[in-house]
Structures are given as C-alpha cells and as structure tokens.
Chains A and B, each alone.
Chain A
Amino acid sequence: MTADVTVHLAALALGDDALVLSHRLGEWVGHAPVLEEEVALANIALDLLGQARVLLSLVGDEDELAYLREERAFRNLQLVEQPNGDFAHTIARQLYFSTYQHLLYAELAAGHGPFAPLAGKAVKEVAYHRDHAEQWTLRLGDGTDVGHERMARACEALWRFTGEMFQPVEGLDVDPERLQEAWLDSVGDVLRRATLTVPEGPRSGAWAAGAGRQGLHTEPFGPMLAEMQHLHRSHPGASW
C-alpha cells in the first residue's frame, strides 16, 4: 500500500474512535448525575469531536465520512461504540480508552509522522480526560459498596473490548506490544488504588479480535449511526 493510503486508514481508525465516543458522550447531556459532570462530559465530547474533525478531514470531507458511510465502513474500536450504560460503564469505557489514547498520542506526538502535530495538541486534552476517568474510578471503586460493585461490574463487562486497541494499525508508527504493557501497568495501577481487581477474562471477543478496525461492529452501533445520520441523509445535497 502507498504511504497515503496507510495514512488514510490510520486517520480513519483514530478519527472514527473520536467521532463515535464523542457521540456516545453527547448522549449524556441532560442526564448526568451531577451538574459538574454535565460540563465535564460535554467538554470531553467536544474535545473528541474536534480531534475527529481534524482526522477525518485528512481523509476527505468530514461530513460525507461521518454521515454517509455505512456501518461496515467505520473503523472505530468496538469499545467506543458500546452504549453508555450506567455512569460506572461510561467511566470504565473512559478509563480504558483515554489511557490508550493518551499513551498512543504521546508516542505519536514525539515522532515525526503525519499525526505528530495533531497528537501534540490532543495529548494535552486527553491527559485531562484520563485524569477525569481516574478520579471517578477512585471515587466509585473506593466510595460506597454500591459504587464499588457497579464499578467492578463495568470494568469486567468492558474488559473484553480492550485487546483490540493493541492490534497493529497500518500507518501508525507505534509498537503495539509496548503500548499494551504500558496500558496494563497504568490501568492496573488505577484499578488497584480504587480497591478494584484487574479483570481476568479474555481481552477480545470470541469471534474476532480487532474486529472494529476491520469494519465489524456490535449490534448497538447500527441504531447509533441511524440516529446520527438520519437528518443529514434525509436532505441529500443540502448544506447546513
């Protein structure tokens, strides 16, 4: 594959991660458990949407890519498309993803590849997202019994989507093995401090590890896209 094509594939993978997670976080608006979290979750969603727009624009028209692709053409991780669930599920998803994204962007920012400028800017935002997820993991895990139980269940439930993050992505100049070790260290440390145990189950679905990156998604993704794309698709060619 030519260099351009691999850069496009990588930009789609990272751009779709940011786009889809931003959308999921946007679903929280008006439903958050406390007013400060209305601000925080929307803020994280906005940061991710900003990243998505830059990344998708490297590939083509951002709106065509977001609104006119079919489900099988999206390259995001299955993790980010998982429904919000309760607040613990959202926080577990944030902890897993933002830790990955922070390590990945830090590495990309330090290199000289095509993603270095974006990663240099985004890594600062993502550091805040990671910190937000860590703080909440501690509050829920080491707060009340109910909080602990819910957080443990959420960490367990999403664990099987975490292996996909370390499948090699063409066009991304990072060592997935090293990334994975750093991720396990970092997430393990937060979970232990939150008095939670590191889940022991498999880190990929039984049928296809790395599936989201190849365009295989989970059932909740279709309805999400239907909602997201409906209005845009109802007015072909209109500008907004």
Chain B
Amino acid sequence: MATAAAHHTAQQTGPQAYGAQSGVPDTACGTDDTAAYQRAFDAAVAADERVEPRDWMPDAYRATLVRQIAQHAHSEIIGMQPEANWITRAPSLRRKAILMAKVQDEAGHGLYLYSAAETLGTSREDLLDKLHTGRQKYSSIFNYPTLTWADVGAIGWLVDGAAITNQVPLCRCSYGPYARAMVRVCKEESFHQRQGYELLLALSRGTPEQHAMAQDAVDRWWWPSLMMFGPPDDESAHSAQSMAWKIKRHSNDELRQRFVDICVPQAESLGLTLPDPDLKWNEERGHHDFGAIDWTEFWEVLKGNGPCNEQRMTQRRRAHDEGAWVRESAAAYAAKRNDEAGAGRG
C-alpha cells in the first residue's frame, strides 16, 4: 500500500541514490507505483547498492532497521555501566586511561548510532524513551555483573570479540548510514578487543591470584558471549527477512561458529581454559564442536530475570531523570540566543 510519505520520500531521491540509477518512476502515484518502487528497491538490494535515507524503502525494512540500530545504540550506552564499574578502581594509571578511553568510545558509538537511526525519521529522545519504558531492548550480555578487574579483560576479549564478529558484516549492510557508522565502530572495537586480550594475558602470566581471577572471569563470560549471537537459526524471529534485505549477511549459528573457532587458539595463547568439556576440533567439519548452550538462561535474562537487568535500567533512568533539569536549562538558553539572533536580524 502506497503512503504519501513514502512517495514524497521517493520524489526527493537524489542523484547518488539507488532510485535515480534504477529508473524509479518519479511522477505517477498509486498502488502500481508502490509495486514499481518495491521492484526498484529489491533490484538495488540484489545488486548490493546502498539504500540511502531519502530513498524509498518498504515500511517493514525501515522498522527493522530502526529496531536493530536502536538496540545497538542502547547496548552501547548500557554497556558503559559494567565497565565504568571499574574505572575508579583500575589498578594502574595506564589501565585506567585505557579503560576510560574505551568507555568513552562506547558513548561515541551510541552517538553515531542514534544519529544513524535519526536518518530513518526517528529521534534520539523517542528511542531513549522506548528504552526507559522497556519497549526497546539492549544486548542481554550487559545484564551480567563485572565482579572482578579481570571481568574488564573478559568483556574486551569475549564480549567485544563477539560484537566484532557480529558487526564486521554490518559494514556491508544494505542501509548506507548504518554501514558507514559500523566501519568506524568496528575499528574502535578491534582496539577494545585487543586491550581485553592484553589485560587478560598480563593477569594470566601474573601472580597465582591474578591468574585465578582471569580464569574465573573467562568461566563466567564464555557462555553468555556465545549467546550474544542470538538464538539458533531455526528459532530466530527476524533472521530470514533481514538476510533477504542484506541487513544481515550471515546466520546466528554461522557467526557463533566463527567466533568459537577464533577464540580457541587465543585461549591457548592466553594460558586459560574455555569452560566447555565438549569443545574439540572436528576434522571433518573443519570447525570446533562445542557443547549445548543453556537457552533457558538466555530467555530468562531476555525476559528481565538476569542478575543486573533491574540495576542497569534503574541507573539509566536515574541518570536521565536527574539530568532533565540540565537538558531543560540548555534548551532554554539556546532558545534565548535564537530569539536574540532573530531580533537582531528583524
């Protein structure tokens, strides 16, 4: 069904966008034309062209992107909490600087991603409101606690490692602004992953207490990290459509396997054990086999029953609520300056 907004959007299509190159009709309107727009969109996606903000796109494609980008942005800002938990206790000034830089990057990623979502016609305020009222989610991994300093390393190595495995293919996502944001995000994430690995290496080679701390963190973060790729392919609600739209390029299980294969030799170099007795190389498949994931835990955490769901949301809402007067005062100040500028011109 054609919408006036969609048609209007299509008419604004710029010369660089797929519509102009694909011969989308630019005058007529009506259901036939929606079909034509849809055909042009499908052809553009099939040809690996980028969809840009002013291009016509199916409503469901737009909604899927908003949902995914918002969830990603929310994950960046909620994900600051478990790591910020250790900024004030970082055991050396060098580690403190690295950790602070990393958490700052995450705030920056939140900014790019909210901006990418804004290109789809939604505002940051609206998305934050959806987060604060539980209508949008963030990655469940951040509902686990950081109990020791080694958890900072495990988050870098495993959680950021899993995030990179998920996100590198998103640099080729069909939606241009998201793909471009991901190029920058992935560069910084790879630094985060390396610092986590290096932090764990220092602990693993340190005192027996430090080594034990590192092993304990890996024991606790390994399985939740594998869950970050989402449910198995046959239970994943959004996967098939997202793959057809080239928002997503590989299935959850494919990416999970890729991650396991990357981590096994890294764990060996670290001198740490991955907590899975079934983990072994399968010559025939050319991949590592691994044990069964406890999906009950995954669904429970997703439903809100993880160790930190309540705490993360409470802190987020409190920061937002306690900051309201600051944002209001800044807006009032900006409005006064605009009025003055207007009066000056008048």
How many residues from A make CB contacts under 8 Å with B? 49
Residues of chain B in range 199-235 having any CB-CB distance to chain A below 8 Å: 199, 202-203, 206-207, 209-210
Please tell me if B96 contacts chain A, counting CB pairs below 8 Å.
Answer: yes
- Whether A143 touches B329, Cβ cut-off 8 Å, given contacts A30-B80, A45-B100, is yes
Of B88, B95, B107, which one neighbours A240 at CB under 8 angstroms?
A: B95
> Which residues of chain A are within 8 angstroms of B81 by Cβ–Cβ distance?
30
| A39 x B107 contact (CB < 8 A) | yes
| A46 x B100 contact (CB < 8 A) | yes
Task: Give the distance to chain A from B335, nearest Cβ to Cβ, in Å.
Answer: 9
Please tell me if B103 contacts chain A, counting CB pairs below 8 Å.
Answer: yes
Please tell me if B183 contacts chain A, counting CB pairs below 8 Å.
Answer: no
Task: Give the distance to chain A from B93, nearest Cβ to Cβ, in Å.
Answer: 5
Residues of chain A in range 120-146 having any CB-CB distance to chain B below 8 Å: 138-140, 142-144, 146
> Which residues of chain A are within 8 angstroms of B93 by Cβ–Cβ distance?
19, 49, 52-53, 56, 62-63, 66
A86 to B111, CA, bound (A): 23
| A46 x B111 contact (CB < 8 A) | no
| B329 x A139 contact (CB < 8 A) | yes
- Whether A42 touches B89, Cβ cut-off 8 Å, given contacts A32-B323, A53-B97, A144-B325, is no
How many residues from B make CB contacts under 8 Å with A? 51
Write out, one digit per residue, whether chain A residues 226-240 have a CB within 8 A of any chain B CB (1) or not (0): 011011100101111
> Which residues of chain B are within 8 angstroms of A203 by Cβ–Cβ distance?
none
| B336 x A239 contact (CB < 8 A) | no
Please tell me if A43 contacts chain B, counting CB pairs below 8 Å.
Answer: yes
Of A139, A144, A238, which one neighbours B210 at CB under 8 angstroms?
A: A238
Write out, one digit per residue, whether chain B residues 303-340 have a CB within 8 A of any chain A CB (1) or not (0): 00000000000010011101111111111111010000
> Which residues of chain A are within 8 angstroms of B332 by Cβ–Cβ distance?
143-144, 147
- Whether A228 touches B325, Cβ cut-off 8 Å, given contacts A30-B319, A42-B107, A235-B210, is no
Write out, one digit per residue, whether chain A residues 19-40 have a CB within 8 A of any chain B CB (1) or not (0): 1000100110111111110110
| B89 x A29 contact (CB < 8 A) | no
Of B84, B322, B326, which one neighbours A140 at CB under 8 angstroms?
A: B326
A228 to B91, CA, bound (A): 8
Please tell me if A50 contacts chain B, counting CB pairs below 8 Å.
Answer: yes
A238 to B322, CA, bound (A): 40
Please tell me if A153 contacts chain B, counting CB pairs below 8 Å.
Answer: no
Please tell me if B269 contacts chain A, counting CB pairs below 8 Å.
Answer: no
- Nearest chain A residue, comparing its CB with the CB of B316: A30
> Which residues of chain A are within 8 angstroms of B104 by Cβ–Cβ distance?
29, 38-39, 42-43, 46
In the complex, number of A-B residue pairs with CB atoms less than 8 Å apart: 149
Please tell me if A87 contacts chain B, counting CB pairs below 8 Å.
Answer: yes
A50 to B98, CA, bound (A): 11
- Whether A238 touches B207, Cβ cut-off 8 Å, given contacts A39-B104, A52-B93, is yes
A26 to B93, CA, bound (A): 12
Residues of chain A in range 99-127 having any CB-CB distance to chain B below 8 Å: none
Write out, one digit per residue, whether chain B residues 78-95 have a CB within 8 A of any chain A CB (1) or not (0): 001100100111111111
> Which residues of chain A are within 8 angstroms of B327 by Cβ–Cβ distance?
33-34
| B315 x A39 contact (CB < 8 A) | no
Task: Give the distance to chain A from B30, nearest Cβ to Cβ, in Å.
Answer: 42
Write out, one digit per residue, whether chain A residues 194-209 have a CB within 8 A of any chain B CB (1) or not (0): 0000000000000000
> Which residues of chain A are within 8 angstroms of B108 by Cβ–Cβ distance?
39
- Nearest chain A residue, comparing its CB with the CB of B106: A38
Of A27, A34, A50, A142, which one neighbours B333 at CB under 8 angstroms?
A: A142
A23 to B323, CA, bound (A): 21
Residues of chain B in range 99-125 having any CB-CB distance to chain A below 8 Å: 100-101, 103-104, 107-108, 110-111, 114, 124
Task: Give the distance to chain A from B136, nearest Cβ to Cβ, in Å.
Answer: 16
> Which residues of chain A are within 8 angstroms of B88 by Cβ–Cβ distance?
23, 26-27, 227-228
Please tell me if B77 contacts chain A, counting CB pairs below 8 Å.
Answer: yes
| A139 x B92 contact (CB < 8 A) | no
| A35 x B107 contact (CB < 8 A) | yes
A42 to B91, CA, bound (A): 18
Known: A33-B326, A53-B97, A239-B206; 20 extra A-B contacts, CB below 8 A, are A23-B88, A29-B103, A30-B81, A30-B84, A30-B103, A31-B315, A34-B330, A35-B114, A49-B100, A66-B93, A67-B92, A142-B336, A147-B332, A227-B88, A228-B89, A235-B91, A235-B209, A235-B210, A240-B199, A240-B206
Task: Give B residues with C-beta under 8 Å from A.
Answer: 77, 80-81, 84, 87-97, 100-101, 103-104, 107-108, 110-111, 114, 124, 149, 199, 202-203, 206-207, 209-210, 315, 318-320, 322-334, 336
